[in-house]
Amino acid sequence: MTTIEHGVRIAKLTTIGVGGAARVLARASTLAELREALRFARDEGLPVLPVGLGSNLLAADDGVDAVVLRLEGELAGVDVVETGLVAGGGSTNAVCLHRARDAGLGGFEFACAIPGTAGGGVVMNAGAYGRDWSDVLARALVVTADGEEWMAPDELGLAYRGSALGQDQVVARVEYRLEKRPSAEIKATVAELIAQRKATQPTNKRTFGSVFKNPEGEIGTGRMLELCGLKGHRIGGATISPMHANFIENADGATSADCIALMVEARRRAREQFGVELEREVVFAGLPELPALT
């Protein structure tokens, strides 16, 4: 049976720790429970909001009128197979990487500093250090209220930090294609990448990862916002990270309104000083789109 709860604060389900109550929180541990939860949402006329680790998610302070869906149990397990891993959509990248390393399977090292799940990785086509999910994904099992289908990367429409999947399409399983690599080499690469991260990004703060996508051109969003003088800029309980200006930290009781006010200001200044219209990377839940730049 799918577990259903009411009134759970989304702040508890996200890395930034912001967001009001979910109308319904459903936890599914098997494919049958997942189908049940999706049919429940359809029958109630509610949208579905799958949440992995909530590491790229900003939810409204007054809550989200949706069935927030978490994948657990069997849908968060990881199996090693000869060609790679078969991971539940709710399995964390940390566990997948650990299992791959122990099995001497390389290729997933780039995900060491991405604190999400297999499902969130597919939907966001998450990436770092020049690699992304499209480089390791063999196929994904996508479930809706009407059925399920294994989809190949080209069918998923993976692009820079996004895919063609809609919110009613839940990634229940992911097959990763990896190559043989000695565990010691994997371990050394991961240690190096994590050290690089710690030196440049606020890995020990509550954030939702990159706020905006990087625009085309030589200068990245972080540097651009730094040159706009935004490092350390604070509104309410939210601060633009003093370490990396494309991160917003929950400094002290931040609200989604605080985070949005910072995003609006960052977009305004980037447009004014660089003529660039920054596009958000973070996913909004229960929130209107950012106002258009005038």
The residues of the shown chain that bind ligand FAD, judged by CB under 6 A, are: 15, 49-57, 71, 89, 113-117, 119-121, 123-124, 126-128, 161, 167, 170-171, 203, 207-209, 283
| Rg of the Cα atoms in the chain | 19
Residue 55 vs 255, nearer CB to ligand FAD: 55
Residue 280 DSSP symbol = B
Q: CB neighbours of 147 closer than 8 A, spacing ≥ 6?
A: none
From 211, 240, 258, 261, select the one nearest 18 (Cα to Cα). Answer: 258
Rounded to the nearest 5°, which phi and psi values hold at 131? -125, 155
Nearer to ligand FAD, 19 or 106 (CB): 19
Min CB(5)–ligand FAD separation in Å = 17
User: Cα(49)–Cα(274) distance, rounded to whole angstroms?
Assistant: 35
Min dist CB 86 to ligand FAD, Å, is 14
- At its nearest, how many Å lie between ligand FAD and the CB of residue 37? 12
Among residues 142 and 230, whose Cβ is nearest to ligand FAD?
Answer: 142
Closest separation between CB of residue 28 and ligand FAD, Å?
10
Cβ-based nearer residue to ligand FAD, 59 or 228: 59
* Cα gap 213→208, rounded to integer Å: 13
- Spatial contact of 226 and 245, defined as CB atoms under 8 Å apart: yes
Query: Annotated catalytic residue: which of 163, 210, 241, 256?
Result: 210
Inter-axis angle of helices 93-102 and 183-200, nearest 10 = 150
Copy the structure tokens of residue 91: 């399995």
Query: CB-wise, 98 or 271, nearer to ligand FAD?
Result: 98
* Active-site position among 161, 173, 267, 269: 161
Find tokens 């939860």 and name the residue. 37
**Min separation Cβ 180 and ligand FAD, Å:** 25
The yes-or-no answer on residue 161 being catalytic is yes
Q: Is 279 a catalytic residue?
A: no
Instruction: Give CA–CA dist 225/283, Å, rounded.
Output: 20
Which residues are designated catalytic?
Answer: 161, 210, 281
